[in-house]
Structure 1
Amino acid sequence: MKKTLFAFTVIILSKFNAQTWKTEDQYIQKFAAYAVEEMEKYQIPASITLAQGLLETGGGQSRLAQQGNNHFGIKCKEDWTGKTMSHTDDAPNECFRVYDDPKESYEDHSKFLKYRKYYQNLFTLDMKDYKAWAHGLKKAGYATNPRYAYILIDKIEKYRLYEFDNTNSKEALFTVLKLYPDLRNDKVFMAQMDQSQVRTKPLTVRVPYEQTSYAKQQQRVEKIKSDAELLQTILVKSHPNGNRKFIVVPADTDLSFIANKFKISESRLMKWNELSATRLQKNDVLFLETKSSEGNTKTYKAQVGETMHDISQKFGIKLSKLYSKNRMSYGEQPRVGQLIYLQQKKPRS
C-alpha cells in the first residue's frame, strides 16, 4: 500500500541572491522602521529622522554609531547619567552619549527635538512637508553648515525617503520592499517580516509525512530566522589598508550565509581570507576582496594568543606575504611581543 502523503504549506524563503547594497542603502533597509516608529510617537517626519541618521553616521559607518550606537551625535549634556565615550568633534575628546541599542538613540533624538524650546516651532509645521522641516531645523540652529537643509532634502529625494512619511510601523518594511524590490529575493530581509502578512504567494511543497513533522518544520524556520537576523546586523566597512571592504562577523555562523548575502562564492572568500574551514566565529574579520601584499604600517608587536592569521586579518595583508616578510615557515606562530614586519622584509640576523 502506498504511503499516505500529506500536503504541508510551508513558506520557503527563496534562494538568497541579494545584491551587495551600498552603505546608505543598507542603512535605510535596517533603520527605516525605527524612524517610522518615532514619527508615530513624536510627530517628526520619518524622512527627516532617517536623512539625519544617514548624514550623521555616514551611512552607519561613523565611530559614534558603531562603538556607541549614537546615530545623531548627541553629546552628554548635564542631564545624561548613562554610558559615555570621548570623541573629537567641535573640540578634542568631547563627551558623547553611548546607548545599548540604536533604537534608544533614535528615541533620544526625538525627545531632543520634542522637548527643547529651540525646536518647538517645528511642530507647527505640516508633518509631511519635509522641506519645511529641513529648513526649520537649520533656522533653529540644529547645524552650522549653511547648506544643511539642502543636504537633508537631497538625501530625502535621492532615496525617496518621503515614502516613509506616508506609512506606519506595521507597513514600514513593506515600504522598504517597495523602494528595494530586489529584497523580495533576500531571505535575510524577508525573515524579518511577519510571514502571515507577506504579500507574495507562498510556495506549496508536498512532503512525505514520514520524512518530517510540524516540529521539524518549525525548527527549520526558526533556524532560518535566527541566521537571517544575524546577517541583518552586518555592515560593510572600509579597512585602513587601501580601503578594502571587510566585515566583522557578529556571531558564530557558516561561511555560506556570508557568501549568499554578498553574492561572492565561498571558494573566493576562503582564498581571500586563507580559511581552512567554513565555520566562522564571532568577531572574525572577513575580507570581501583580496588583501594587500603589505600592511599600512611598518611593524607590529604580536599580542597574547595572536596567530599569524589573526595579524594578517587585522592589517589586511596576505598571509603568505606576512610569512615571507618575517622569514617564517608557513604555520609557525609568533611569540608574545615578537616584532612582526608588515612592509619590508625582516633584516637578516
Structure 2
Amino acid sequence: MKRLFSIISLLVLSTFSAQTWATEDQYIQKFAKYAVEEMEKYRIPASITLAQGLLETGGGQSRLAQEGKNHFGIKCKEDWTGKTMKHTDDAPNECFRVYDDPRQSYEDHSIFLSTRKYYANLFNLSMKDYKAWAHGLKKAGYATNPRYASILISKIEKYRLYEYDDTNSKEVLYAVLKMYPGLKDDRTFMAQLEPSKMIVKTAKDPVTVEVPYKQTSYAQQQKRVEKIKTKAEILNSILIKSHPNEGLRYIVIPEDTTVKFIADKFKVSESRLVKWNELNSNILKKNDIIFLESKNSAGNTAVYKAESGEDMHDIAQKFGIKLNKLYAKNRMDEGQKPSAGQLIYLIDKKPRN
C-alpha cells in the first residue's frame, strides 16, 4: 500500500510539473506582448527588452517588480514626479519609480533609452542584431556588471527571445503559444485568442500555429475582450506622465477626443493647450502627445534621426520642444518636412555650411 501511494504521488507530481513553467517562462508568457509593442513604437528589440526585464526582476520575483511594478530598476532622478519607493541597490535606501501598471514601466524604459544621449548610437543598430544591442548597452554604461552583455545574450538564446524580434503586436500572442503550446490549457491566456479556429501541431517537428487571420483579426478579438470598457471610461483613466525633458507634464491620448474634453478634465484653458501644443485642430487623435504646460526651448538629447512619415510637429511633441525653436535649430522653414533618416538637432543649432 505504501509503495502504491508513492507511485500515485509521483504520477501526480509529474503531471503537475508538466503543466508548470519556471518563473522566467511565466514572465515571458506574460510580458512578451509589452516588449513587442514597445519595439514597434521605439525600435528597441523585443528580445533585449525581455532579457533586461528577466534579469532585472529575477523572472518577475523582485521586490521592485512586485511592489513597485518597476521592471527595469529605473531610479527617480530629478525629472520624476510620480510615486516612489525606497530600495537598496547601489546604495542604501535609493529612490525608485513606482508605476500603477507594469506596462507603464515598459514604456518608461523605452523613453529612457530613446531620449538619453548616452544611448543614441544604439538606434543606428539593426533591430535584428541583439548581440550588438547587448554590447552597446554595456558600452554606454547601462550596467556596471562587466558580464552584462554576455548575460543578456545568454538569456536571449536560452529562451529564443530573438523570435519576438520577428513578430508584431498583432501576432505576438500566437508566437508565445508557438513557443509554449501547453498554454492552450490556460483559459486566461486563450481568452485573448480564437481557440475554436486554431490548430496547434504537437509533433516532434518544430511546433507551428495555423491561424485564419483573414476571418477574425486580432484587433477584432481584442475588441470583444475589451468591449466592456467604454470610451468614456478609457478617457477618464488618463494618467499624467513626467517627460524626460525636465519632467514636463504630459499625457498620451488613449482614444479620439477633443481639446475641450482634455481642458475640462485637467482644468486648463483650451487656448493654452492649443498654444502649448501648437495645435491646428480641436480634434485630438489616439496616441497624440499633449503637454499640460509650456514646452522647453531645447531637448534633453543632442540629435534625433527622423523616421519615415514624421513631421517636425511630431518630433517637437516627442521631445517636448517648442516647434518654432525646433525649426530654428535646424534652419528649416515653417512647414518644411524632414526626410527619413535626417538628423534633427534638438539642442544646438545646425551648423552653417
Distance in 2 of aligned mates of 1:162 and 1:134: 12
Dislocated runs of 4+, deviation >3 Å: none
Summarize the alignment of residues 162-173 of structure 1 with structure 2, pairs less than 5 Å apart: 162-173=162-173
1:77 aligns with 2:77: yes
1:161 aligns with 2:142: no
Residue aligning to 1:27: 27
Distance in 1 of aligned mates of 2:18 and 2:171: 21
Equivalent position amino acid for 2:35 in 1: A
Residue aligning to 1:213: none
Of stretches 129-138 and 182-191 in structure 1, the one that deviates more from structure 2 is 182-191
Summarize the alignment of residues 1-349 of structure 1 with structure 2, pairs less than 5 Å apart: 19-193=19-193, 195=194, 198-200=197-199
> 1:189: how far off?
1.6
TM-score norm. by structure 1 comes to 0.52
Measured against aligned partners, the alpha-carbon deviations of 1:148-189 in whole angstroms (never above 9, x if no partner) come to 000000000000000000000000000101111111222222
Unaligned stretches of 5+ residues in structure 2 = 1-15, 201-223, 226-353
Note closer, same or farther for the CA distance 1:175–1:161 as it changes in structure 2 (3 Å cut): same
Equivalent position amino acid for 1:182 in 2: G
Question: For the Cα contact (< 8 Å) 1:17–1:185, is it kept in 2?
Answer: no
Question: For the Cα contact (< 8 Å) 1:56–1:71, is it kept in 2?
Answer: yes
Higher relative contact order (CA 8 A, sep 6+): 1
Q: Which has the larger radius of gyration?
A: 1
Question: For the Cα contact (< 8 Å) 1:18–1:185, is it kept in 2?
Answer: no
> 1:199: how far off?
2.0
**Equivalent position SS for 1:52:** helix
Unaligned stretches of 5+ residues in structure 1 = 1-15, 202-220, 223-349
Equivalent position amino acid for 1:142 in 2: Y
Distance in 1 of aligned mates of 2:178 and 2:154: 20
Question: For the Cα contact (< 8 Å) 1:118–1:140, is it kept in 2?
Answer: yes
Distance in 1 of aligned mates of 2:182 and 2:103: 26
Distance in 1 of aligned mates of 2:147 and 2:140: 14
**Equivalent position SS for 1:96:** strand
> 1:200: how far off?
3.0
**Equivalent position SS for 2:199:** coil
Distance in 2 of aligned mates of 1:197 and 1:119: 45
> 1:197: how far off?
8.5
Residue aligning to 1:276: none
Aligned length: 188
Distance in 1 of aligned mates of 2:142 and 2:189: 34
Distance in 1 of aligned mates of 2:162 and 2:86: 34
Distance in 1 of aligned mates of 2:172 and 2:196: 12
> 1:28: how far off?
0.2
**Equivalent position SS for 2:66:** helix
**Equivalent position SS for 2:188:** helix
Equivalent position amino acid for 1:155 in 2: K
Residue aligning to 2:274: none
Equivalent position amino acid for 2:177 in 1: L
**Equivalent position SS for 1:60:** coil
> 1:110: how far off?
0.2
Distance in 2 of aligned mates of 1:95 and 1:198: 48
> 1:24: how far off?
0.2
Measured against aligned partners, the alpha-carbon deviations of 1:99-119 in whole angstroms (never above 9, x if no partner) come to 000000000000000000000
Distance in 2 of aligned mates of 1:191 and 1:168: 19
Question: For the Cα contact (< 8 Å) 1:69–1:98, is it kept in 2?
Answer: yes
Equivalent position amino acid for 1:41 in 2: K
Note closer, same or farther for the CA distance 1:197–1:89 as it changes in structure 2 (3 Å cut): farther
Equivalent position amino acid for 1:183 in 2: L
Equivalent position amino acid for 1:173 in 2: L
Equivalent position amino acid for 2:124 in 1: T
Aligned-residue CA RMSD (Å) = 2.2
